[in-house]
């Protein structure tokens, strides 16, 4: 299996550190707002990478953090007159809801930066003792020029960085020796969350958080480190400098970066104000459509969001799921395969191999999806009423497996929801019959929260989505 490694700028054969297991770290969101669909791209892409590795038989230890201490969180907390942790806890819960809608599986561990402060203090101490970091009146800086490999991931050269940044001064960072040095620890300001440390009451810089969480949950050397391309510099470059200087070992073997999700040709970003929330898209589309749309492009290709592309993803997915539904509804005969059916059976195996070949080639989900379209064409024509049940099972199982690798569910969300609603309505009817009006009202409220309004008619209870 080949993976494009940002570190070597080449597609390389993937070889894990320990046979059969993968240690993978994916930089997670800063939790001060609902996520936009740009943020959803790495979540969906790397969840799919994880699913594929598991399919190949690897045990994947998947760690993805929440950055829950940050200027933007503090700003939001001040605006809303609540504590920082109230803001971050609220949005961690909301991010998790969006991830679940998009069928992004929970990580093995979702560490939070604020719960890892001791590890950060330890690593900063190690870096100071080893001569890579220095303290100026409570602010601790990493001296980038001290790390020989600085720039190896982003291809930046430290002298050019120095030259380019000579004039730029960042407030609060006046004490640093070189413009390429970066903050590991900084003093608190009035009203900010802070922790005691040997240097001052303060809080960590962003980069040290990920180095420490990766070390704690995965170890000094990890297989894959991933995130969006915007993280290559400075975030990931700085993580390498910190981790390798502190641990004395190569940090991550493979660095994977997804390209941007754009809108009107520009990066979707909170700061640019051109973003669409996952929540907003889900008002209009089934979450699976968004997932399918994201995977319709290779993860290293920029993807432009548009209504047309979403509509075409919706139609494409509909075609696949209709084909799947039909396969589950037709009647099969319990008998061995005849010669013709054997050929179709073998052809299905050929499609599985092609799907795998696409995924083995740096997770090319775009090609893998084309293979699925070809497969359903074959199945639509050749798997009909009366064919052997062996062929029927093979067709259904294959679609189940391949779609699950993309995180697409074959049972429609809407159907699950419909069943759940019907069940609640029945419970409400029974409660009313038993004159338990309190319970009946509770169920009505619950349905209302789900966006369902009830209408008591002469023909019984009718419901509609509001």
Could you tell me how many residues of this chain bind ligand AMP (CB under 6 A)? 17
Distance CA(279)–CA(97), nearest Å, equals 10
State the binding partner of 210 from Zn ion, ligand AMP, none, CB within 5 to 8 A by kind. Answer: Zn ion
Using rule CB under 5 A, residue 210 touches Zn ion: yes
Binding to ligand AMP by residue 293, rule CB under 6 A? no
CB of 109 to ligand AMP, least distance (A): 17
User: What is the 3 state secondary structure string of the chain?
Assistant: CEEEECCCCEEEECCCCCCCEEEEEECCCECCCCCEHHHHHHHHHHHHHHHHHHHCCCEEEEEECEECCCHHHHHHHHHHCCCHHHHHHHHHHHHHHHHHHCCCCCCCECCEHHHCHHHHHHHHHHHHHCCCEEEECCEEEECHHHCCCCCCCCCCCHHHHHHHHCCCCCCCCCCCCCCCCEEEEEECCCCCCCECCCCCCEEECHHHHHHHHHHHHHCCCEEEEEEEHHHHHHHHHHHHHHHHHHHCCCCEEEEEEECCEEECCEECCCCCCCCCEHHHHHHHCCHHHHHHHHHCCCCCCCEEECHHHHHHHHHHHHHHHHHHHHHHHCCCECCCCCHHHHHHHHHHHHHHHHHHHHHHECCCHHHHHHHHHHHHHHHHHHCCCCCEHHHHHHHHHHHHHHHHHCCCCCCCHHHHHHHHHHHHHHHHHHHHHCCCHHHHHHHHHHHHHCCEEEEEECCEEEEEEC
Q: Which of 44, 268, 383, 424 binds ligand AMP (CB under 6 A)?
A: 268
Is 120 an interacting residue with respect to Zn ion (CB under 5 A)? no
Q: Which of 54, 86, 122, 230 binds ligand AMP (CB under 6 A)?
A: 230
Structure tokens at 403: 């779609």
Binding residue for ligand AMP (CB under 6 A) from 151, 202, 228, 392?
Answer: 228
39 binds, among Zn ion, ligand AMP, none (CB under 5 to 8 A by kind): ligand AMP
Nearer to ligand AMP, 278 or 391 (CB): 278
Is residue 261 a contact residue for Zn ion (CB under 5 A)?
Answer: no
Chosen from ligand AMP, Zn ion, none, partner binding at 261 (C-beta under 5 to 8 Å by type): ligand AMP
Q: Residue from 34, 92, 158, 269 that binds ligand AMP (CB under 6 A)?
A: 269
Out of Zn ion, ligand AMP, none, what residue 42 binds, judged by CB under 5 to 8 A for its kind, is ligand AMP
Q: Residue 395 interacts with Zn ion (CB under 5 A)?
A: no
Asked whether position 26 contacts Zn ion by CB under 5 A, the answer is: no
Q: Which is nearer to ligand AMP, 40 or 117 (CB)?
A: 40
Q: Which stretch binds Zn ion (CB under 5 A): 39-47, 203-211, 253-261, 268-276?
A: 203-211
Stretch that binds ligand AMP, among 190-198, 263-271, 332-340, 417-425 (CB under 6 A): 263-271
Binding span for ligand AMP by CB under 6 A among 74-82, 182-190, 245-253, 257-265? 257-265
Comparison of 91 and 134: residue with beta carbon closer to ligand AMP: 91
Shortest reach from residue 342's CB to ligand AMP, in Å: 45
- Decide: is 231 part of the binding site for ligand AMP (CB under 6 A): yes
Residue (304 or 380) nearer to ligand AMP, CB:
304
- Distance in angstroms (rounded) separating the CA atoms of residues 411 and 404: 11
Contact 23, 224 (CB under 8 A): yes
| Span interacting with Zn ion, options 179-187, 204-212, 251-259, 392-400, rule CB under 5 A | 204-212
CA proximity to 216, closest of 115, 130, 128, 143: 115
Closest contact distance (angstroms) between CB of 345 and ligand AMP is 40
Distances from the Cα of 108 to the Cαs of 12, 59, 175, in angstroms?
A: 26, 11, 40
Contacting residue, 27, 256, 278, 383, with ligand AMP by CB under 6 A = 27
Q: Least Å distance between CB 230 and ligand AMP?
A: 5
Q: Which of 23, 41, 215, 428 binds ligand AMP (CB under 6 A)?
A: 41
Our finding on whether 208 is near Zn ion (CB under 5 A) is no
CA distances from 97 to 100, 106, 174, 262 (A): 5, 11, 41, 23
The entry of Zn ion, ligand AMP, none near residue 41 (CB within 5 to 8 angstroms by kind) is ligand AMP
Beta carbon nearer to Zn ion, 207 or 444: 207
Q: Which does 76 bind (CB under 5 to 8 A by kind): Zn ion, ligand AMP, none?
A: none
Helices 237-247 and 206-218, packing angle to 10 deg? 50
Residue 205 binds to ligand AMP (criterion: CB under 6 A) = no
Smallest separation (angstroms) from Zn ion to the CB of 227: 6
CB neighbours (10 Å) of residue 148? Answer: 11
Q: Which of residues 42-81 bind ligand AMP (CB under 6 A)?
A: 42
| Interacting residues toward ligand AMP by CB under 6 A | 27, 29-30, 38-39, 41-42, 227-228, 230-231, 258, 260-261, 267-269
């Amino acid at each position: 299996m080949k993976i494009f490694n940002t570190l070597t700028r080449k597609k390389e054969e993937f070889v894990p550190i320990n046979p059969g297991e993968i240690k993978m770290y994916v930089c997670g969101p800063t939790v001060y707002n609902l996520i936009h669909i740009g943020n959803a791209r790495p979540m969906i892409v790397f969840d799919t990478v994880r699913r594929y590795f598991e399919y190949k038989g690897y045990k994947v230890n998947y760690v993805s953090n929440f950055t829950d201490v940050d200027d933007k969180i503090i700003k939001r907390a001040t605006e809303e007159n609540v504590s920082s942790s109230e803001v971050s806890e609220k949005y961690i819960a909301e991010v998790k809801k969006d991830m679940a809608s998009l069928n992004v599986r929970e990580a093995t561990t979702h560490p939070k930066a604020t719960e890892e402060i001791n590890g950060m203090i330890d690593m900063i101490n190690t870096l100071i003792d080893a001569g890579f970091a220095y303290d100026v009146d409570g602010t601790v800086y990493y001296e980038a020029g001290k790390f020989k490999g600085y720039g190896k991931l982003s291809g930046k050269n430290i002298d050019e960085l120095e030259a380019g940044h000579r004039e730029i001064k960042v407030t609060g960072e006046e004490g640093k020796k070189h413009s390429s040095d970066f903050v590991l620890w900084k003093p608190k300001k009035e009203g900010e969350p802070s922790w005691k440390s040997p240097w001052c009451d303060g809080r960590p810089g962003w980069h040290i958080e990920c180095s420490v969480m990766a070390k704690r949950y995965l170890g000094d050397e990890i297989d894959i480190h991933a995130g969006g391309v915007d993280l290559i510099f400075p975030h990931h470059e700085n993580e390498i400098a910190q981790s390798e200087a502190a641990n004395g070992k190569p940090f991550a073997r493979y660095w994977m970066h997804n390209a941007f999700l754009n809108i009107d040709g520009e990066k979707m970003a909170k700061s640019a104000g051109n973003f669409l929330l996952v929540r907003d898209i889900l008002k209009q589309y089934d979450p699976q459509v968004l997932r399918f749309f994201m995977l319709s492009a290779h993860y290293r290709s920029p993807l432009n969001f548009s209504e047309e592309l979403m509509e075409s993803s919706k139609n494409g997915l509909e075609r696949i799921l209709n084909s799947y539904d039909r396969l589950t509804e037709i009647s099969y005969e319990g008998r061995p395969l005849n010669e013709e059916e054997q050929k179709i059976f073998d052809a299905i195996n050929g499609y599985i191999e092609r799907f795998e070949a696409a995924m083995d080639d740096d997770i090319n989900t775009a090609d893998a999806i084309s293979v699925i379209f070809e497969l359903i064409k074959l199945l639509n024509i050749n798997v009909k009423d009366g064919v052997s049940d062996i062929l029927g099972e093979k067709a259904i199982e294959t679609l189940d497996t391949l779609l699950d690798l993309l995180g697409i569910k074959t049972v429609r969300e809407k159907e699950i929801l419909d069943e759940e609603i019907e069940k609640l309505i029945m419970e409400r009817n029974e409660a009313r019959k038993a004159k338990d009006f309190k319970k009946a009202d509770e169920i009505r409220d619950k349905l209302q929260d789900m966006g369902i309004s009830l209408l008591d008619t002469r023909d019984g209870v009718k419901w509609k989505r509001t």
